[in-house]
Amino acid sequence: MKEFFKKPIFPIITASVSLVLAIGIMVAAGVSFVKCWDVPMPIEGPNVTEVKMLSEWYDGLKDGPGDTPVYVLKGEGDGGAMLILGGTHGNEPSGYMSAVTFIETAIIENGTVYVIPYTNISSMTHNDPGEGNLQYFTLQTKSGERIFRFGSRATNPIHQWPDPDVYTHHPSGQQLSGSETRNINRAYPGREDGTLTEQIAFGIAELIRTEDVGITFDLHEASPEYPVINATVAHQDAMTIASEGCINLLLSGIDMALEQSPTNFHGLTHRELGDYTDTMAILMETANASQGRLRGGTSEEQVLGGVDDYYLYSESIGMLFVPWDENHHPIEERCGRHLQGIYEYTMAYNNAYPDKIVTYSGVPSYQELFLDADKEDLGGTQLGKFLR
């Protein structure tokens, strides 16, 4: 036996075995990564009149990795236009799940609503390295089990590469860390000849300008140790509407902070869409345990249920900017906040602009999604009941 290991052929055999093993891992990993490129889309709800692509507003995106579906929901009555941006960041599931819920349930009475479930669709096609995030999560819906992607904060680097050392925002000249070059919420108002992320941002600004969108919602989540959480940030032109809506949210039991968009922090929807278009730009944030730095291991229970015992401890030592108890922050609470927020701010918009109203029904409220739910249904089951 000893003689065999000394033969010159033995290293060739072990090298071949190592290579075969590596090829096996390559194929398994490669198939897994490639599957992530196929992002599951919403099922068209009762009032989806058209599904367009963002390239209809900026053809530079056509057939590329940034071209994303735009669901058009047109009401029978005249009115204004509203835009809902979900999936600005692919690792903030209540943002895109609220948009998906709106698409699948809303019945528009007046005006037109444009919903982009995955604003930066490239960010949905990969995960952040080193985060140990899920690739997918599942929900039981009316049509059975459905799979949704859990993505990344930024554009997939196979679509936009390389990152500069320093990202210089156009047109302000503001400098940020290089990786922010792939963050679409630092890329507005975008530009035609810019990076893929800037081109997507430009396409969205073009949609707003072309369709005369009166009010725009950008739906986000933040880690529980981030100060801007359970909050609305509005452009100064939208502050009157946002203040009225925020008071109504507070009266309906939703604790919502309101901040005016800083004038010196560039690239964000609530700053640039307000500055470079005529829309009322409003951004909302909810508490996402799976994004935080103090979290435990990531799991579906954490993503959908918001369950994380490390945050219970963090709360006890005053590390968080959002109240945390054993009820945690399930997806129903987070989507409920977004959907109720959209409703109240839209009502306030309608009061201010009666000639451009947008009215709708059928979308689950905070009460229906969260407050009326059985405790054991929180963490995905209750949300799934409203999805097709």
Partner 1 sequence: MVLTIIYRLIIALVIALVGWNLFTEKKFTAQLTAAMVLIPLVLRALMIK
The site for partner 1 (CB under 8 A) is made up of 11-12, 14-15, 18-19, 21-22, 25-26, 29-30, 33-34, 126, 158, 161-162
- Is 12 or 166 the residue whose CB approaches partner 1 more closely? 12
150, 92 contact by CB (below 8 A): no
- Is 162 or 297 the residue whose CB approaches partner 1 more closely? 162
CB of 57 to partner 1, least distance (A): 25
- Is 154 or 273 the residue whose CB approaches partner 1 more closely? 154
User: What span, in angstroms and rounded, lies between the C-alpha atoms of 307 and 325?
Assistant: 10
CB of 303 to partner 1, least distance (A): 22
User: What span, in angstroms and rounded, lies between the C-alpha atoms of 344 and 334?
Assistant: 15
CB of 184 to partner 1, least distance (A): 21
CB of 74 to partner 1, least distance (A): 39
Please give the torsion angle defined by the CA atoms of residues 171, 177, 182 and 188, in that order, rounded to the nearest 10 degrees. Answer: -30
- Is 37 or 276 the residue whose CB approaches partner 1 more closely? 37
* Closest by CA position to 170, among listed 196, 153, 194: 194
CB of 168 to partner 1, least distance (A): 18
Which distant-in-sequence residues (6+ apart) come within 8 Å of 244 by Cβ?
A: 348, 351, 352
What letter would DSSP give residue 256?
-
CB of 55 to partner 1, least distance (A): 20
Exposure class string for 143-175: b at 16+ Cβ within 10 A, else e: eeebebbbbbbbbbeebbeebeeebebbeeeee
> Which amino acid is residue 51, in one-letter code?
V
Which distant-in-sequence residues (6+ apart) come within 8 Å of 7 by Cβ?
A: none
CA distances from 210 to 16, 59, 78, 162 (A): 60, 14, 17, 32
- Is 126 or 271 the residue whose CB approaches partner 1 more closely? 126
- Is 162 or 318 the residue whose CB approaches partner 1 more closely? 162
- Is 18 or 316 the residue whose CB approaches partner 1 more closely? 18
Give the residue ranges of DSSP H helices in the chain.
2-6, 9-35, 93-105, 196-210, 239-251, 274-276, 300-305, 309-316, 331-352, 366, 381-386
365, 340 contact by CB (below 8 A): yes
Which distant-in-sequence residues (6+ apart) come within 8 Å of 54 by Cβ?
A: 61, 66, 67, 68, 69, 70, 116, 200, 203, 204, 207
- Is 33 or 265 the residue whose CB approaches partner 1 more closely? 33
CB of 34 to partner 1, least distance (A): 6
CB of 173 to partner 1, least distance (A): 24
